[in-house]
Copies of this chain bind each other. A is one copy, B any other.
């Protein structure tokens, strides 16, 4: 289990595309590891729960879950138990992704649980206000992603730079230890460079790399301007 220890960081969200499921997921994780090794860049992959064990056995980069449920061990059939994900090899998790929004008290509980288990917490948010709220709960990362730009190919760092800057500013005033990531629409080295210049410490992205014709080339381009 390898956590995210340095920034800048790229977190690649595999979502539930067939292109990033099962054997395809393993291949994409290996490509991510290769680019990380070649460039010295920190790259983490966030994969579907059934793929965590297999991938974490075969690659040496951080493997994150996509979701943890706010439950303790016991009678919770069908829930994602943090302890189970960790034992399978997850070193952290996305929390409150726009495709899996959570209740406020659940976000609080999950952050506490990951901290207790030594796992990274990456809370996704939709605007400056919810980013500030999330920062008070002391996660490792807040990834701000205006929902209208997710999967759009239009990078938030260009379309709404004030959202990224505003998030960085408010989070630094609340808790400077929380790192800001920039999500939504990121796919190129230019996008990532812009995101970093706005004060973020990395990016969270998915389709721009996952669905690229050549994911390795796309990933190499992504980190090429930093």
Contact = CB atoms under 8 A, between A and B. Distances in A.
Given A50-B88, A90-B50, A127-B108, A77 B66 contact: yes
Contacts of A151: 75
A45 to B, nearest CB: 13
16 contacts: A15-B75, A16-B71, A16-B75, A17-B73, A18-B83, A21-B73, A50-B65, A50-B90, A66-B78, A96-B103, A96-B104, A104-B130, A105-B125, A108-B126, A108-B127, A174-B174
A101 B80 CA distance: 15
Interface string A91-115: 0001011111111111110000000
- What interface size band does chain A fall in? 35 or more
Interface of A: 13, 15-18, 21-23, 46, 48-54, 65-67, 71, 73-81, 83-85, 87-88, 90, 94, 96-108, 125-127, 129-130, 132-134, 136-137, 150-151, 174, 206-207
